[in-house]
């Protein structure tokens, strides 16, 4: 076998940015592990260093090694000879090297090499499994502490707080076997990219680019709606509520035509979609109840009492701004395609003209999201009064909610008015919103009933919110002017 | 051609008129002052190479984009400000329909049909059955050909009879059988109901089958517009040897100098049906061109 294809494999399966990020994470965690090994003078120092590097290996497995599967699928589909062997050899080789190198460094500074190798390999295999195994494996991984604590009441599980290397290697062996089985299955599947809950995460990351785990650099760009719909299981597909559509119901009709989050759905469809959220939530509550004996109602009451205003603001602010972002991206996508909904809407009779049409269109695009934002604001203000918070906190809260609503309103006007800004500006505004919401929590009573910072930082925070709202007002006003000038709003940007 | 245009633009209810349309992308002109008018009941095939500006022209004529300059009218109304009455008389099928992927074929036809006063629901149902399209399948899950067929059904079921039916690359994703059926349907509608049809294509055989007129668009300009039957035996490739090129006619549709110094020109017969005099030069040769050859010669 020629060694060169094997050695070049990571360069062919990942983008340079991803390799740099991954190596950066590994180097930072190795530095942290060395620091722990050298400066911690406790019996757990070796284990702490091993777990730290194991965490880095987790990213190696997930981000660097799992995309090898994409290459294997391509090679199989294109019938490239001898490629499968090179890919598998590359996987084993880079896995071994990337475990051995940091383990050697840690061995030099006095950490038990056997422990480091075992924990690092476990981290690597967990990362690889997260990439290669079906998506629900991630849910199982997330709930595993709860499941283990529950099972412990009925089954005599080994004590993992003092892990024996045999147990770690047994888990590693188990993960290798199931990864191998999944690999075999996906490489031979007739349509491995077909959407289902059994589709592994790494196959999802190939949505917009030809390599794995780089999809986030393309967020917000025009995506294939059909492909996204096809990737959902049949029972999760939203069913449009058509009963109140037609020229008599222009707003409802426009929501149907814009689709996505704006699509009005039948009750059956809504119930099915909530089923996905409510059933796991009920399961988690039941597990909590079984494991800890809490009464469900008491859990909720305790939650309400224990949450400070800052926590409410965090929930409301993130939820509201996140929702705004969803609608902004949807409108960006609809107004950037020339062959999709815009020509249909432009030539559809019965939607009206001029200001009537604009009113209906803005109502259809913004009515629901702004309604939710309004309810969130009312809930937050009532909570603020109930918790007797100071006026500065209340002011920060209100500014955050205004910005969240202004975000969607400003960009909707910009897109519909033909004055769209680059997608990076959406990312910048969203990032500013989320960052300032984070700062809200610093300047507000988050962990305690009283504010933990002085007045000056809070004034600066308010000023930052005002600047952001001012920028949004400028974007919105610019869009509004464009909308007044446009002969009709269904022209692509 | 100008006489026809004049006549058309003076008619208030002319289905489709473009005047001096100019448009471009990123500093490059795609339409360069295009004039085009359609008479009621005509079937005009717009032909040109990829990137010639066909889709842009159609989109500008329907008010789906704002041209840099010039104007377009649909039934006498400015294309960018159409009334509901004018819209209900237009049907448009883009090259790769992507709209409403979240609806099933039946849902989409039901939804769109509510907006058209003369919607023919039984026709839509029959066509879905005839073209073997599952009505309860999401549009997102249909093949590109099936999706285009659904969009064609949507366009035809709105009954744009006596009106204009604008199609863009109508047969791009259709198999030969479906394409033949579609063309038959178009010919039938134009012949019996007086539907005006504008369609763009680069499949010349499709055009010959149904179009009454043909317009060649090249580099954003309308090079030629004539009846399909008129093109037969009317245009020819005139080859003039190198030593005689000084006597080449000044008027030609295209002119190309060959490596050996000889000239190839596309010429047309005069009103009396005669080729230009240069055809009689010693060593000169003339070959009459069919529509496809004419397209290839002009587009090269």
C-beta neighbour count of A17 within 10 angstroms: 11
A323 with A204, same domain: the answer is no
User: Is A492 in the B-facing interface, judged by CB distances under 8 Å?
Assistant: yes
Higher pLDDT, A37 or B10: A37
A193 with A62, same domain: the answer is yes
ipTM topping 0.90? no
B208 with B236, same domain: the answer is no
Mutation target for B interface from A195, A246, A346, A419: give the one with most B CBs within 10 A. Answer: A346
Give the C-alpha separation, A344 to A365, whole Å: 17
User: Is A435 in the B-facing interface, judged by CB distances under 8 Å?
Assistant: no
A187 with A316, same domain: the answer is no
Question: Does the beta-carbon distance from B138 to A229 stay under 8 Å?
Answer: yes
Question: Does the beta-carbon distance from A245 to B114 stay under 8 Å?
Answer: yes
Q: Tell me if A127 sits within 8 A of A137, measured CB to CB.
A: no
Residues of chain B contacting residue A334, judged by C-beta atoms under 8 Å apart: none
Residues of chain A contacting residue B103, judged by C-beta atoms under 8 Å apart: 240, 256
- pLDDT tens for residues B199-210? 887 777 777 777
Mutation target for B interface from A194, A226, A236: give the one with most B CBs within 10 A. Answer: A226
Residues of chain A contacting residue B138, judged by C-beta atoms under 8 Å apart: 229, 237
In a domain, A54, yes or no: yes
B67 with B208, same domain: the answer is yes
Give the C-alpha separation, A335 to A222, whole Å: 10
pLDDT of residue B98: 84
Residues of chain A contacting residue B115, judged by C-beta atoms under 8 Å apart: 246-247, 253, 348-351
User: How far away is chain B from the Cα of A351, in angstroms, using its nearest Cα?
Assistant: 8
Q: How far is CA A168 from CA A43, A160, A214, A259, in A?
A: 19, 9, 31, 48
User: Is A487 in the B-facing interface, judged by CB distances under 8 Å?
Assistant: yes
Closest-CA residue of A relative to B142 is: A226
User: How far away is chain A from the Cα of B152, in angstroms, using its nearest Cα?
Assistant: 13
A336 with A459, same domain: the answer is yes
> Which residues on chain B place their C-beta less than 8 Å from a C-beta of chain A?
59, 62-66, 78, 80-85, 87-88, 90-92, 94-103, 107, 110-112, 114-116, 138-141
Question: Does the beta-carbon distance from B115 to A348 stay under 8 Å?
Answer: yes
Question: Does the beta-carbon distance from A237 to B78 stay under 8 Å?
Answer: no
B110 with B246, same domain: the answer is no
Residues of chain B contacting residue A240, judged by C-beta atoms under 8 Å apart: 102-103, 107, 111
Nearest-5° Cα angle at A37, A31 to A41: 140
Q: What tokens does B112 get?
A: 């769109």
B85 with B201, same domain: the answer is yes
Of A225, A343, A346, which has the smallest distance from its Cβ to B101's Cβ?
A225
Last residue of a domain, one of B204, B229, B254: B229
User: How far away is chain A from the Cα of B82, in angstroms, using its nearest Cα?
Assistant: 8
Last residue of a domain, one of B203, B229, B255: B229
Q: Would you tell me which residues 36-75 of chain A have a C-beta closer than 8 angstroms to some C-beta of chain B?
A: none
pLDDT above 90 covers what percent of chain B? 16
Closest-CA residue of A relative to B109 is: A242
Kindly give the confidence (pLDDT) of every residue in chain A, 493 residues in length, as a single tens digit, with 9 standing for 90 and above. 678 888 888 888 887 877 888 888 889 889 988 988 888 777 777 888 888 899 889 888 988 899 899 899 989 988 888 889 999 999 999 999 999 999 999 999 888 888 899 999 999 999 999 888 887 777 677 666 556 655 655 555 555 445 578 888 998 999 999 999 999 988 988 877 766 667 787 887 665 444 555 544 454 454 567 777 776 777 778 888 998 888 999 999 999 999 988 999 998 888 887 887 777 777 777 776 666 665 656 666 655 665 666 667 777 888 888 889 889 989 988 998 887 889 999 999 988 888 899 999 999 999 999 999 999 899 888 888 877 777 888 888 889 889 999 999 999 999 999 888 877 788 788 878 877 887 776 666 554 555 556 777 788 888 989 999 999 999 999 999 999 999 999 998 8
User: What is the residue range of A314's domain?
Assistant: 307-485
pLDDT of residue A4: 86
- pLDDT tens for residues B161-186? 544 555 555 555 667 777 777 777 77
B30 with B72, same domain: the answer is yes
- pLDDT tens for residues B15-72? 889 998 999 887 788 888 889 888 888 888 888 887 788 888 999 999 999 999 999 9
- pLDDT tens for residues B147-159? 888 988 999 899 8
- pLDDT tens for residues B75-120? 888 999 999 988 998 888 887 788 899 999 999 999 999 999 989 9
A211 with A352, same domain: the answer is no
Q: What tokens does A308 get?
A: 């400070």
In a domain, A341, yes or no: yes
Of B99, B102, B115, which has the smallest distance from its Cβ to A240's Cβ?
B102
Closest-CA residue of A relative to B80 is: A487
A15 with A120, same domain: the answer is yes
Judged against a pLDDT cut of 90, whether residue B4 lies above it is answered with: no
User: How far away is chain A from the Cα of B291, in angstroms, using its nearest Cα?
Assistant: 30
CATH number of the domain to which B205 belongs: 3.40.50.300
User: What is the residue range of B196's domain?
Assistant: 2-89+162-229
In a domain, A89, yes or no: yes
pLDDT of residue A432: 84
A26 with A144, same domain: the answer is yes
Question: Does the beta-carbon distance from B102 to A227 stay under 8 Å?
Answer: no
Total number of domains in chain B: 3
Give the C-alpha separation, B124 to B113, whole Å: 10
B170 with B143, same domain: the answer is no
User: How far away is chain B from the Cα of A63, in angstroms, using its nearest Cα?
Assistant: 30
pLDDT of residue A469: 93
Total number of domains in chain A: 2
Judged against a pLDDT cut of 50, whether residue B6 lies above it is answered with: no
Mutation target for B interface from A344, A356, A485: give the one with most B CBs within 10 A. Answer: A344
């Amino acid at each position: 076998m020629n060694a060169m294809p094997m050695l070049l494999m990571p360069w062919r399966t990942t983008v340079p940015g991803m390799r740099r990020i991954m190596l950066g994470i590994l180097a930072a965690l190795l530095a942290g592990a060395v620091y722990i090994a050298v400066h911690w003078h406790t019996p757990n120092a070796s284990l702490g260093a091993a777990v730290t590097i194991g965490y880095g290996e987790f990213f190696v497995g997930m981000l660097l090694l799992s995309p090898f599967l994409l290459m294997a699928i391509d090679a199989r589909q294109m019938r490239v000879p001898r490629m499968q062997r090179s890919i598998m050899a590359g996987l084993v080789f880079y896995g071994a090297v990337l475990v051995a190198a940091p383990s050697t460094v840690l061995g030099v500074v006095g950490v038990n090499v056997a422990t480091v190798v075992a924990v690092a390999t476990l981290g690597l295999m967990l990362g690889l499994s997260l990439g290669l195994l079906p998506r629900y494996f991630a849910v199982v991984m997330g709930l595993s502490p709860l499941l283990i604590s529950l099972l412990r009441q009925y089954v005599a599980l080994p004590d993992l707080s003092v892990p024996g290397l045999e147990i770690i290697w047994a888990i590693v062996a188990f993960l290798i076997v199931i990864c191998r089985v999944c690999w075999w299955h996906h490489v031979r599947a007739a349509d491995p990219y077909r959407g289902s809950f059994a589709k592994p995460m790494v196959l999802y990351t190939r949505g917009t680019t030809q390599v794995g785990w780089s999809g986030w650099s393309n967020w917000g760009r025009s995506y294939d709606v059909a492909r996204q719909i096809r990737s959902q299981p049949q029972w999760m597909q939203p069913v449009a509520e058509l009963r109140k559509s037609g020229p008599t119901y222009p707003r409802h009709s426009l929501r149907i035509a814009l689709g996505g989050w704006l699509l009005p759905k039948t009750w059956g469809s809504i119930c099915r979609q909530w089923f996905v959220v409510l059933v796991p939530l009920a399961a988690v509550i039941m597990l909590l109840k079984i494991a800890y004996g809490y009464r469900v109602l008491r859990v909720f009451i305790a939650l309400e009492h224990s949450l400070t205003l800052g926590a409410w603001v965090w929930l409301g602010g993130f939820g509201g701004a996140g929702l705004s972002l969803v609608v902004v991206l949807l409108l960006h996508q609809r107004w950037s395609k020339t062959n999709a909904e815009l020509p249909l809407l432009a030539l559809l009779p019965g939607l009206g003209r001029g200001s009537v049409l604009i009113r209906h269109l803005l109502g259809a695009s913004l009515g629901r999201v702004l309604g939710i934002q309004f309810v969130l604001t009312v809930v937050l203000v009532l909570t603020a009064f109930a918790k007797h918070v100071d006026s500065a906190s209340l002011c920060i809260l209100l500014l955050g909610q205004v910005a969240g609503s202004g975000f969607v309103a400003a960009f909707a006007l910009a897109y519909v008015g033909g004055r769209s800004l680059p997608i990076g500006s959406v990312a910048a505004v969203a990032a500013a919103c989320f960052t300032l919401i984070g700062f809200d929590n610093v300047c507000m009573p988050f962990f305690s009933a009283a504010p933990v910072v002085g007045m000056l930082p809070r004034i600066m925070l308010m000023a930052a919110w005002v600047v952001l709202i001012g920028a949004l007002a400028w974007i919105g006003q610019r869009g509004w002017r464009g909308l007044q000038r446009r002969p009709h709003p269904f022209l692509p940007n | 051609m100008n006489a026809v245009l004049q006549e058309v633009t003076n008619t208030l209810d002319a289905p489709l008129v473009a005047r001096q349309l100019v448009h471009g992308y990123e500093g490059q002109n795609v339409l360069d002052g295009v004039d085009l008018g359609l008479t009621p009941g005509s079937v005009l095939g717009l032909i040109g190479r990829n990137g010639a500006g066909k889709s842009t022209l159609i989109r500008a004529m329907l008010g789906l984009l704002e041209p840099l300059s010039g104007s377009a009218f649909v039934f006498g109304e400015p294309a960018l400000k159409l009334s509901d009455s004018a819209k209900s008389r237009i049907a448009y099928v883009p090259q790769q329909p992507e709209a409403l992927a979240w609806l099933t074929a039946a849902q989409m036809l039901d939804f769109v049909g509510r907006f058209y006063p003369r919607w023919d629901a039984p026709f839509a149902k029959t066509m879905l059955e005839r073209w073997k399209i599952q009505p309860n399948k999401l549009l997102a899950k249909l093949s590109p050909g099936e999706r285009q067929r659904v969009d064609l059904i949507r366009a035809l079921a709105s009954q744009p009879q006596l009106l204009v039916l604008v199609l863009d690359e109508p047969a791009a994703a259709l198999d030969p059988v479906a394409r033949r059926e579609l063309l038959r349907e178009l010919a039938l509608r134009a012949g019996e109901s007086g539907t005006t049809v504008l369609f763009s294509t680069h499949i010349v055989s499709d055009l010959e089958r149904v179009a009454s007129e043909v317009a060649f668009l090249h580099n954003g300009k309308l090079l030629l517009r004539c009846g399909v039957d008129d093109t037969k035996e009317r245009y020819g490739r005139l080859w003039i040897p190198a030593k005689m090129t000084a006597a080449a006619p000044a008027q030609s549709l295209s002119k190309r100098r060959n490596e050996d110094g000889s000239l190839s020109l596309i010429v047309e017969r005069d009103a009396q049906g005669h080729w230009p005099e240069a055809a009689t030069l010693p060593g000169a040769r003339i070959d009459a061109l069919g529509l496809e050859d004419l397209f290839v010669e002009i587009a090269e």
